[in-house]
């Protein structure tokens, strides 16, 4: 007859990390050796300084409090409740206990023998890293920045079974390149392409280094239309320089290069540069054959759309792509790059359609050019889901008598664009931070005056606006307008230490998102009562800190939060570990928000802590760790004690 006690222990352990990470047979072996221990309220489990025992403990029922013995007092460090593991010091370090453990109420514990469990760890090294990172206070170790626990290991069912994701597979080879010299005639090159049944030909110098490329599209547009004769040299129609990549790239990297450069072919060279020999060529068709679909296809379809509803359909398909990336744990840097390109293309198309509508209706476009600016998460290249819009418009300076007419045109354009984006699924901004608002549709000179006022008169509303508008990014139109605006902002910031202090103080408005007993800080009223706001409580404190530190360093070319932290880590070696932890934490938070939003079919902003798994709560708690340290750094660096 089966022993029911080990079975009950197994059924309990399988739902809680790190035991949930174990294969079934290994966990059954561990469960068979577990002892059940009962403790009365106030009874000691072990004392700080005691020789490490032979067991690791997990709370089955009740609560255990961990204390650090200070001078003539005990400092409460943490409270462990159902499913929490403690006392792991004998497992990971042959040292005395660093804390005192005491039952806060009647408690039932499972005691896991160290000897048998250590053998399991040797076969599963990630579990040891998980324990060391998650229970740092108990082990006496610092957070291990290189370990990122799987976010989805606790998922069950065939839909979550490991499967290869084509986007992250390595491209071990490419088609043998078809090449010719620059003085080859177009007719000869076309004949070679036809004979070899290829869609492109690489033009090389005498040393087989790429100098240009011709594709079927070039032949159709330039030669078949009669613009260029067949006897002309290929050099007259080739695209140059060639975009080159090294061999053995991952497919994800190939896709990024094609999307970023808006091309359909890449030349593979020995060292990835145009100064080495051609060894292969990759086309968009090659990727399509290998994976059946890719972001470049979605972008092509976006460019062909003639109405907003079609754009919405494509954006919904992009979220299917996003979901696949998230569940396969593709790097957030790749995911955000792809989704940003898709969002940008949707904005491009919404603007082009709106301009065409206005032209058809008889509106006369002004001579003054413009630039559409994305703000907030889209400005930072972090908008994975369809959240609300944040945008603005800047147009070229015009004579005073032309200003109102020019602004009226661009306000009409902005209204149509924001309406189309709303149809796509990007909600209107509740605070009206959109280009269709007359306050955020201004000439370059008016924008400069606006930013100067905010910087020189940093009252609370001005500082709040700066946290939104300092993350702008030019998406469509004349990039030189946003470049000029950025240059002006940094000139205006010179000598404005008071403004920087106010901006830093604003970054401290949201304290670390855990209560003393490591419960999530939730909303206490309103529509989202008892929900955890991952954006305001966890992501914005990190994004605000990164923005302030980058502005203080006078760096304007990086908007993305985790890339800002990566740059700061490079610039400040003494704070490198903190910044790297913050970068990792922000990526984890982005991933969790996207996953939750896809599941709930919304922005993913509000979580119900009571419905989160133990692993989800632990992973999120770990990602909160850098917030307090960053806010302490801001306090010291900007002398914020004087602003209270």
CATH of the domain at 57: 2.60.120.10
Query: Do 210 and 332 have their domain in common?
Result: no
**Cα distance from N-terminal residue to C-terminal residue, the chain:** 69
Domain assignment present for 434: yes
Domain assignment present for 38: yes
How far apart, in whole angstroms, are the C-alpha atoms of residue 545 and residue 106?
43
Domain assignment present for 366: yes
- DSSP assigned state of 107: E
Instruction: Please name the residues in contact with 313: beta carbons below 8 A apart, sequence gap of 6 or more.
Output: none
Q: By three-state DSSP, how is residue 364 classified?
A: coil
pLDDT in tens, 323-347: 888 877 788 888 898 899 999 999 9
Domain assignment present for 183: yes
Sign, Cα dihedral of 212, 216, 221, 222: positive
Question: How many residues are listed for the chain in this entry?
Answer: 644
Instruction: Please name the residues in contact with 374: beta carbons below 8 A apart, sequence gap of 6 or more.
Output: 343, 344, 347, 390, 391, 472, 473, 475
Q: What are phi and psi of 192, to 5 degrees?
A: -65, -45
User: What's the CATH number where 279 sits?
Assistant: 3.10.580.10
Q: What is the pLDDT of residue 129?
A: 56
Intervals of the chain under pLDDT 70: 1-3, 90-94, 122, 124-175, 251-252, 285-294, 516-518, 642-644
Q: How far is CA 21 from the centre of its chain?
A: 25
In order of 56, 160, 582, the CA distances from 127 in angstroms are 14, 20, 22
User: What's the CATH number where 375 sits?
Assistant: 3.30.460.10
Query: Do 309 and 286 have their domain in common?
Result: no
Domain assignment present for 472: no
Of 262, 292, 322, which closes a domain?
A: 292
Q: What are phi and psi of 539, to 5 degrees?
A: -80, -45
Query: Do 37 and 126 have their domain in common?
Result: yes
401: which 2 tokens? 């008598």
Q: What is the pLDDT of residue 514?
A: 77
Q: Do the Cβ atoms of 309 and 423 come closer than 8 Å?
A: yes
- DSSP assigned state of 236: G
In terms of residue numbers, what domain contains 283?
A: 172-292
Other CB atoms within 10 Å distance of the CB of residue 567: 20
Find the radius of gyration of the CA atoms of the chain.
29
Q: What are phi and psi of 520, to 5 degrees?
A: -70, 140
Helix H or strand E segment including 106: none
User: What's the CATH number where 546 sits?
Assistant: 1.20.120
Q: What are phi and psi of 178, to 5 degrees?
A: -100, 125
Domain assignment present for 15: yes
Query: Do 303 and 440 have their domain in common?
Result: yes
Number of domain units in the chain: 4
How far apart, in whole angstroms, are the C-alpha atoms of residue 499 and residue 456?
7
Of 265, 292, 319, which closes a domain?
A: 292
Query: Do 304 and 441 have their domain in common?
Result: yes
Q: By three-state DSSP, how is residue 76 classified?
A: strand
Q: What is the pLDDT of residue 620?
A: 85
- Could you give the angle at which helices 497-506 and 460-469 cross, rounded to 10 degrees? 80
Q: Which residue has the tokens 């696949």?
A: 324
299: which 2 tokens? 């972008």
Of 141, 156, 189, which closes a domain?
A: 141
How far apart, in whole angstroms, are the C-alpha atoms of residue 613 and residue 610?
8
- DSSP assigned state of 79: E
Q: Which residue has the tokens 């009874």?
A: 43
Q: Which among 29, 3, 24, 6 has a CA at the least distance from the CA of 14?
A: 24
Other CB atoms within 10 Å distance of the CB of residue 182: 16
For residues 83-97, b (16+ Cβ closer than 10 Å) or e, as one string? bbbbbbbbbbeeeeb
Query: Do 215 and 352 have their domain in common?
Result: no
208: which 2 tokens? 């087989």
Query: Do 590 and 560 have their domain in common?
Result: yes
Query: Do 197 and 131 have their domain in common?
Result: no
Q: Are strands 391-395 and 441-443 parallel, antiparallel or unpaired?
A: parallel
Q: Do the Cβ atoms of 273 and 244 come closer than 8 Å?
A: yes
Domain assignment present for 212: yes
Q: What is the pLDDT of residue 358?
A: 97
Other CB atoms within 10 Å distance of the CB of residue 617: 17
Domain assignment present for 471: no
Query: Do 14 and 135 have their domain in common?
Result: yes
Helix H or strand E segment including 435: none
Q: What is the pLDDT of residue 290?
A: 54
Query: Do 266 and 312 have their domain in common?
Result: no
Q: What is the pLDDT of residue 237?
A: 92
Q: What is the pLDDT of residue 550?
A: 93
Q: What is the pLDDT of residue 162?
A: 31
Query: Do 274 and 378 have their domain in common?
Result: no
Q: What is the pLDDT of residue 190?
A: 93
Q: Which among 511, 640, 629, 617 has a CA at the least distance from the CA of 580?
A: 629
How far apart, in whole angstroms, are the C-alpha atoms of residue 339 and residue 597?
15
Show the CA angle centred on residue 82, arms to residues 81 and 88, nearest 5°: 75
Query: Do 91 and 190 have their domain in common?
Result: no
């Amino acid at each position: 007859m089966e022993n029911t006690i080990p079975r009950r222990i197994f059924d309990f352990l399988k739902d809680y990390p790190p035991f949930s990470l174990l294969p079934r047979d290994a966990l059954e072996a561990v469960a068979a050796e577990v002892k059940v221990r009962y403790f009365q309220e106030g009874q000691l489990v072990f004392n700080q300084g005691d020789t490490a025992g032979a067991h690791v403990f997990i709370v089955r029922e009740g609560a255990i409090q961990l204390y650090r013995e200070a001078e003539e007092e005990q400092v409460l460090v943490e409270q462990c409740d159902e499913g929490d593991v403690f006392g792991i010091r004998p497992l990971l370090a042959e040292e005395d206990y660093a804390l005192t453990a005491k039952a806060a109420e009647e408690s039932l514990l499972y005691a896991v023998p160290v000897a048998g469990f250590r053998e399991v760890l040797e076969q599963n090294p990630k579990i040891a890293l998980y324990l060391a990172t998650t229970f740092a206070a108990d082990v006496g170790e610092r957070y291990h920045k290189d370990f990122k626990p799987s976010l989805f290991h606790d998922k069950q069912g065939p839909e979550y079974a490991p499967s290869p994701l084509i986007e992250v597979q390595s491209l071990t080879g490419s088609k043998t390149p078809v090449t010719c010299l620059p003085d080859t005639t177009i007719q000869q090159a076309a004949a070679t392409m036809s004979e070899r049944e290829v869609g492109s030909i690489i033009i090389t110098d005498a040393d087989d280094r790429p100098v240009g490329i011709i594709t079927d599209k070039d032949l159709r547009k330039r030669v078949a239309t009669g613009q260029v004769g067949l006897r002309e040299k290929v050099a007259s129609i080739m695209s140059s320089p060639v975009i080159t990549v090294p061999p053995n790239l991952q497919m994800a990297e190939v896709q990024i290069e094609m999307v970023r450069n808006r091309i359909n072919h890449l030349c593979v060279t020995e060292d990835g540069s145009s100064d080495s020999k051609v060894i292969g060529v990759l086309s968009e068709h090659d990727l399509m054959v290998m994976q059946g679909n890719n972001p470049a296809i979605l972008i092509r379809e976006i460019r062909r759309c003639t109405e907003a509803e079609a754009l919405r359909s494509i954006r919904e398909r992009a979220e299917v792509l996003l979901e696949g990336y998230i569940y396969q744990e593709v790097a957030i840097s790749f995911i955000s790059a792809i989704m940003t390109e898709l969002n940008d293309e949707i904005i491009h198309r919404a603007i082009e359609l709106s301009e065409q509508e206005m032209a058809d209706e008889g509106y006369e476009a002004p001579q003054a050019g413009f630039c559409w600016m994305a703000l907030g998460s889209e400005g930072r290249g972090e908008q994975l889901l369809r959240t609300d819009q944040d945008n603005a418009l800047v147009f070229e300076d015009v004579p005073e008598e032309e200003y109102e007419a020019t602004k009226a045109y661009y306000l009409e354009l902005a209204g149509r664009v924001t309406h189309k984006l709303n149809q796509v699924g990007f909600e209107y901004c509740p605070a009206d931070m959109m280009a269709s608002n007359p306050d955020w549709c201004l000439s370059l000179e008016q924008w400069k005056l606006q930013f100067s006022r905010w910087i020189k008169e940093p009252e609370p509303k001005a500082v709040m606006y700066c946290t939104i508008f300092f993350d702008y990014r030019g998406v469509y139109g004349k990039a030189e307008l946003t470049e000029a605006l950025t240059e002006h902002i940094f000139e205006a910031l010179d000598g404005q230490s008071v403004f920087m202090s106010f901006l830093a103080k604003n970054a401290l408005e949201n304290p670390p998102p855990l209560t003393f007993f490591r419960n999530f800080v939730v909303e206490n009223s309103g529509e989202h009562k008892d929900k955890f706001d991952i954006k305001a409580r966890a992501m914005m404190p990190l994004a605000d800190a990164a923005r302030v530190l980058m502005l203080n360093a006078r760096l304007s070319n990086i908007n993305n939060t985790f890339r800002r932290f990566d740059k700061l880590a490079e610039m400040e070696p003494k704070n490198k570990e903190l910044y790297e932890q913050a970068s990792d934490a922000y990526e984890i938070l982005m991933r969790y928000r996207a996953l939750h939003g896809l599941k709930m079919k919304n922005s993913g902003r509000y979580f119900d802590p009571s419905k989160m798994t133990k692993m989800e709560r632990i992973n999120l708690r770990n990602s909160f760790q850098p917030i307090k340290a960053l806010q302490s750094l801001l306090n010291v660096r900007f002398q914020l004690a004087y602003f209270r």
